[in-house]
Amino acid sequence: MRRGLVLLVALLVSIASLFGTAVAGPFGPPSVMHATSDDVPRQPREALPANLVGATAHAGSVTVIGEPGLEDTAQDLASKAQLALDEISADLIDGLPRPGAIEVHLVRDSSDLPRVAPQGRGAPPWAIGVAYPDLGIISVAMRRGGTYVDPVNTLRHELAHLALGAAIGDKAPHWLHEGFAYQHSAEFSFERSETLAGMAWLGGIVSLDELDRSFPAEESPAHRAYAQSYDFVGYLSRRGHWEDTDDDGDRWPFRRFLADLGKGKTIDQAAMKAFGKPMKLLFEEWRANLSSRYLLAPIGLMGLAAWVLVALILMLAWRRRRKQNRARIALWDVEERRRDREEQRAQAEVAARLAAITLASSPAGGALVVPPPATRLDGIDPLADDPATDPHGSTAARLLN
């Protein structure tokens, strides 16, 4: 019962979030890995396997080297990488260092990621993309097993890791790295919503002190550590300097926080200056916000769902009424045309009968006007008294009464 409720809440919040975030490819979010830095030098291009080098594309500071046959994808990734870098750089202000030249290794299948990794670095078997921030190298695969994963989203995620690594180095905790990368790739995941809803309803939020240690060995965006990091950093990016839900700060407090972190302040010093609170209090604030979002979501969203349902019913009723009206008008038209035809037929019959009568009574067999038979008067005044009618020859009245 409780799990059913959690699923329902996750579903409702997921539907709501579709209107507010970008949606990843049709097969869900990519699994990505932010590789830790070490002193291994950049792999010379000649060391890449020959069968995995064919398509090359450049845009700004980005070079994409892809498998033969992936020329179009390589070109697309190069141009979109440069745009993404510009967007990501807007979050890294105050002259924070930016990544230099970036090389992207593009392969079709994730099983080839270890083969295009820098020497001695490798790639985890579950990854679909890997960033090596210290080397300025990113590897991206287009599918894992039979599942296609949008390489643009994967590349954006890895570029964000690379840019944050260049700007802040290793001073950014893991949760901040993953949350920042999610800010710039925004892959949608129903499972992650379910994880967050479960934490809001059933508990299990990992404390800030434990968060970095609780990341799983294998990346899983639905895992609590990832889901928490994505949501917490998202909350910080939307928070103004003060705890005021109407003021999102236009990301400036968040940018100020990253800049101070990059300039050597501790995470609490940077948080105090940007948000007026130490990180632990901000974390508690986020925890309360998460609960209110997921606990109140059913009420708000069910109300919204009820409105949508009523609107749908009204629309269907209106369409039905319109259909009925059209059918009625069409019926009236048919009826009117039938009456017109009958009237015309009746008029035609009357005209035909009149014509028949006229023809029948005409001696000429065709005259339309038949004069009465003529009577010759032969000099007789028809107005004179007829003596035959008055045998007494008297003009006196024969009768009085």
CA distances from 239 to 13, 41, 59, 249 (A): 20, 40, 34, 6
Work out how close the CB of 175 gets to Zn ion at its nearest, in angstroms, rounded to a whole number: 11
Select the residue interacting with Zn ion from 13, 24, 34, 129 (CB under 5 A): 34
Please give the DSSP secondary-structure letter assigned to residue 225: H
251 counts as binding Zn ion under rule CB under 5 A:
no
Nearer to Zn ion, 32 or 123 (CB): 32
Please give the DSSP secondary-structure letter assigned to residue 148: E
Contact string (CB under 5 A) for Zn ion, positions 74-103, x = contact: ------------------------------
Work out how close the CB of 311 gets to Zn ion at its nearest, in angstroms, rounded to a whole number: 41
Nearer to Zn ion, 29 or 198 (CB): 29
Work out how close the CB of 170 gets to Zn ion at its nearest, in angstroms, rounded to a whole number: 15
Work out how close the CB of 69 gets to Zn ion at its nearest, in angstroms, rounded to a whole number: 28
d(CA 312, CA 74): 45
d(CA 31, CA 215): 13
Q: Indicate the helix (H) or strand (E) that contains 297.
A: helix 279-361
**Side-chain half-sphere of 165: how many Cα atoms within 13 Å?**
25
Work out how close the CB of 100 gets to Zn ion at its nearest, in angstroms, rounded to a whole number: 21
181 counts as binding Zn ion under rule CB under 5 A:
yes
Nearer to Zn ion, 105 or 256 (CB): 105
Work out how close the CB of 256 gets to Zn ion at its nearest, in angstroms, rounded to a whole number: 23
Residue-by-residue DSSP string for 59-114: ETTEEEEE-TT-HHHHHHHHHHHHHHHHHHHTTS-TT-----SEEEEEEEEGGGGG
Contact string (CB under 5 A) for Zn ion, positions 199-228, x = contact: ------------------------------
**Residue 296 φ then ψ, to 5°:** -90, -15
Nearest Cα neighbor of 90 from 164, 33, 157 is 164
Nearer to Zn ion, 118 or 133 (CB): 133
Nearer to Zn ion, 176 or 200 (CB): 176
**Side-chain half-sphere of 84: how many Cα atoms within 13 Å?**
27
Nearer to Zn ion, 113 or 301 (CB): 113
Nearer to Zn ion, 195 or 289 (CB): 195
Q: Which window, 78-86, 178-186, 281-289, 300-308, contacts Zn ion (CB under 5 A)?
A: 178-186
Residue-by-residue DSSP string for 197-218: HHHHHH--PPPHHHHGGG--SS
* Total site size for Zn ion, rule CB under 5 A: 4
32 counts as binding Zn ion under rule CB under 5 A:
yes
Applying CB under 5 A, which residues contact Zn ion? 32, 34, 178, 181
